[in-house]
Chains A and B, each alone.
Chain A
């Protein structure tokens, strides 16, 4: 659907060259909700604006539906933009015009419909975003969430194949954010629309994205399916962004646990998540766990879980308090053998695990 091919953007400033983006290569599949996340200044907004050429890349190409659009100018560029919806953080509605006229504007710009058809289309998209009864109001008379719905309706008016969202929920309160994200998910499902959104919040990514790309200082540091990135972050920036929403699996675990105890991180998703794993393991292997960090839930309909487990040493080793127990070399053989049994058991179930200590 969209291919971003070695995109770079360099600004010339009086202080020298500033590289906003370097060598970004990404593929965005049709029908996906693709999230681009990064701290402010990471270049995510520039990248999004390059997709409809509000900004021009200084290197690389943008391909939309296998067509290189990087050099588009004039009429072809305007036609291209009419096929790409854009939703803004601050809505950018005309305050002098009614909701109806705001949504009709892109249709007038495209100039392809009769006024009767324009009227019908405006009605359809207003219905889609749930604002049919607000058509004759002015934007200032609406709440922030309603204004963003108008922004979305306007972006959808020309039946675009892609919707670009520039921090579409960052100016909204948490509750309204959820309703807008639900709306975007519904639109994605109903219309099969590809959505590219940028955000600085992992909670937005978690709520709606299928895939995610993480930008840091103009570099693409990580990309993949949201679940994979969440459960197995590779880059420090990703981990720090996850930490913002309390999903930093490791922090503090390894330094604070009782010494002598083994620590295993267990990751499961899909079918394996349906099994009553923990209680089975306890019974089979005769080990006791405590859960140090855990996260379980649903992401885009897939059940997942990630648990960091501390395997309790057997009673005799921990009788005088875990803290004073000896180093792993002092561990009784029975502890070690039970641990090996546990790992074999995890393997047999096809569960993904890492031994952290």
Chain B
């Protein structure tokens, strides 16, 4: 107990935790802002939604092919390599590739395609009859998405956000390797470079607790919003 209280790295661990929370939170916000429309676009141009008009259907197929290819490319590059590849882009966007700021763009670019795929799948799983009902009452595509598909998919969307947040916590730790901030940075500097096992264990413990909390919170929201 005494050892824990006198642990000299608490202040740094505290800042690291806060940094991790900021990185994850901001990255999650942008991930949803980019991934949600991207997922909707994938859904609307996807194989199940081709227009009966040949020309329109061809356009849809082309858009889908391009979006799908981009998403797949980004998802197939290992995140650590993506981090390095994106350094110039990151500098251009936020002015630095280091610290909390420098971690956020690669996190968003790395995870938004994953989130978009989750959104696409969730929308596809909404009962096709609901889509049909909206069409038959003369709803526009926008009305159908906002008034029917999103509400129907909401519990699933919240689960997807939870899963994405947890993946982000993991990725944010990885950005420590190239000088990003947060708990990952601490673990790399102390645990890996200075063989300080104690700091590494504490950071891992904090990460575990964070993940548990996010999952619990997510589950609670999902339960409240399900009417099944």
Binding site for B on A (CB under 8 A): 52, 54-56, 77-82, 84, 86, 88, 90-97, 105-106, 108-110, 138, 140, 154, 158
Contacts and interface: CB of A to CB of B under 8 A. Distances in A.
A320 B46 CA distance: 79
A96 B52 contact: no
A171 B31 CA distance: 42
Contacts of B78: none
B89 interface: no
Q: Is the interface of B mostly helix, strand, loop or mixed?
A: helix
A81 B135 contact: yes
B228 A80 contact: no
B151 A94 contact: yes
- The 5 closest A-B CB pairs, nearest first, are A92-B129, A81-B138, A78-B138, A86-B136, A92-B133
B164 to A, nearest CB: 21
Contacts of A80: 138
Nearest to B131: A92
Contacts of B133: 86, 88, 92-93, 154
B137 A140 contact: no
A96 B135 contact: no
A154 B133 CA distance: 10
Most chain A beta-carbon contacts within 10 A, residue among B138, B143, B151: B138
B127 A96 contact: no
Contacts of A106: 137-138
Given A97-B151, A140-B228, A92 B127 contact: yes
B210 interface: no
Contacts of B227: 95-96, 138, 140
A91 B136 CA distance: 13
Most chain B beta-carbon contacts within 10 A, residue among A90, A95, A96, A109: A96
Contacts of A56: 52
Nearest to A98: B227
B151 A96 contact: yes
Nearest to B139: A109
B80 interface: no
Nearest to A164: B136
B192 interface: no
A82 B143 CA distance: 14
B152 A82 contact: no
Contacts of A91: 129
A92 B135 contact: no
A81 B137 contact: yes
A95 to B, nearest CB: 6
Contacts of B52: 55-56
Given A92-B130, A94-B148, 11 more contacts: A78-B139, A79-B138, A81-B135, A92-B129, A95-B228, A96-B152, A109-B134, A109-B143, A109-B147, A138-B227, A154-B137
Contacts of B134: 105, 109
Contacts of B130: 92-94
Interface string B129-168: 1101111111110010001100110110000000000000
Given A54-B132, A88-B133, A140-B228, A110 B138 contact: yes
A91 to B, nearest CB: 8
B152 A94 contact: yes
Contact of A81 (B136, B152, B225, B228): B136
Contacts of A84: 136
Most chain A beta-carbon contacts within 10 A, residue among B136, B148, B154: B136
A295 B156 CA distance: 55
B74 to A, nearest CB: 31
Contact of A109 (B129, B138, B152, B228): B138
Contacts of B151: 94, 96-97
Contacts of A88: 129, 132-133
Contacts of B135: 54, 81
Interface string B93-104: 000000000000
A82 B155 CA distance: 29
Contacts of A110: 138
Contact of B137 (A77, A86, A90, A96): A86
Contacts of A92: 127, 129-130, 132-133
Nearest to A106: B137
B140 A78 contact: yes
21 contacts: A54-B132, A56-B52, A86-B137, A88-B132, A92-B130, A93-B130, A93-B133, A94-B152, A95-B152, A96-B152, A96-B155, A96-B225, A97-B151, A105-B139, A106-B137, A109-B138, A109-B139, A109-B147, A110-B138, A138-B227, A158-B137
Nearest to B135: A54
B163 to A, nearest CB: 20
Contacts of B140: 78, 109
